């Protein structure tokens, strides 16, 4: 693999948090996130992403246990860099951990992780996870200083936050959207040149995915809320297949 182009197939990680949101609205056992994970696999997803939030508002510890043993797709566990989450990750040893910032009052992960100002803590936090064989990803803005710091603290992967790009895509100026896309494109190239694998995600939809999927250094997209919402209308299988098709169209030859 060259340092500038990701030579493999662009992977799709399906975030199933909002299957759990729906389940928790009634407090019962359905819909079951594990069933969604198995369906995602059948539809061509390459991984499952689940965010175990401090307040357990969607995914619960029991979901992580079920996904760890009941799904054959690699699990990407999103979590805050806290001692509690570190011990959970060391217990389950998921394929990957994606460290995200977390504030109780936010509805979703609003910004990127502050890596540059927290390098000592993050280096110490990441080391045991790496030693346990888990790939550590940092969810960050496409900011040169954050990307450079991510390489320094020992992350294997950066996931670039596409939320602002997606917001501008819906109701911003074209110039603002394109500026954000240029920032993501430059960030992906910088991260790859530093030897980091590059992922991207947050807020992606059928309408906004293609320009991100076309960035050659990006190896994986993680997409959740839109797919679960679309599944209400067309089913999860069809929603995932359509997303995959759009990703593949945007990355010809892969």
Compare residues 46 and 78 and give the one whose CB is closer to ligand PXP. 78
Query: Is 78 a catalytic site residue?
Result: yes
Residue 221 CB, nearest approach to ligand PXP (Å) = 8
Residue 253 CB, nearest approach to ligand PXP (Å) = 26
Compare residues 3 and 56 and give the one whose CB is closer to ligand PXP. 56
Active-site pick, 18, 102, 202, 217: 202
φ, ψ at 202 (rounded to 5°)? 115, 115
Residue 98 CB, nearest approach to ligand PXP (Å) = 5
CB burial class (10 A; 0-12, 13-18, 19+) of residue 65? middle
Query: Is 51 a catalytic site residue?
Result: yes
Cα separation, 51 vs 132, in Å, equals 20
Compare residues 161 and 192 and give the one whose CB is closer to ligand PXP. 161
In the numeric block, which tokens belong to residue 33? 């996130």
Residue 200 CB, nearest approach to ligand PXP (Å) = 8
Active-site pick, 18, 58, 78, 161: 78
Binding site for ligand PXP (CB under 6 A): 15, 17, 51, 78, 98, 100, 108-109, 139, 159, 201-204, 222-226
> Do β-strands 197-201 and 218-223 pair in parallel, antiparallel, or remain unpaired?
parallel
Active-site pick, 51, 58, 161, 199: 51
Element (H or E) spanning 42, and its range? helix 33-42
φ, ψ at 71 (rounded to 5°)? -120, 140
Residues 24 and 35: beta-carbon distance below 8 Å: no
Q: Which residues are catalytic?
A: 51, 78, 202
């Amino acid at each position: 693999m060259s340092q500038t182009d990701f030579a493999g197939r662009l992977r799709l990680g399906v975030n199933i948090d909002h299957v759990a949101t729906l389940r928790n609205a009634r407090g019962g056992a359905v819909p079951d996130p594990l069933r969604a994970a198995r369906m995602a696999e059948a539809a061509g997803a390459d991984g499952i992403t689940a965010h175990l939030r401090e307040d357990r508002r969607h995914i619960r510890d029991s979901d992580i246990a079920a996904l760890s043993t009941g799904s054959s797709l690699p699990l990407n566990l999103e979590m805050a860099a806290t001692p509690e989450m570190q011990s959970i990750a060391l217990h389950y040893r998921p394929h990957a951990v994606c460290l995200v910032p977390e504030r109780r009052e936010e509805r979703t992960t609003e910004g990127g992780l502050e890596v540059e100002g927290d390098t000592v803590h993050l280096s110490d936090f990441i080391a045991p996870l790496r030693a346990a064989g888990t790939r550590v990803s940092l969810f960050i803005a496409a900011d040169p200083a954050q990307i450079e710091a991510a390489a320094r603290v020992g992350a294997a992967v950066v996931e670039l936050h596409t939320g602002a790009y997606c917001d501008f895509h819906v109701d911003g100026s074209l110039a603002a959207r394109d500026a954000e896309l240029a920032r993501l494109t430059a960030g992906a190239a910088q991260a790859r040149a530093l030897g980091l694998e590059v992922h991207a995600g947050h807020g992606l939809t059928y309408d906004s995915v293609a320009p991100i999927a076309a960035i050659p250094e990006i190896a994986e997209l993680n997409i959740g809320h839109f797919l679960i919402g679309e599944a209400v209308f067309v089913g999860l299988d069809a929603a995932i297949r359509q997303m995959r098709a759009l990703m593949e169209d945007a990355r010809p030859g892969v």
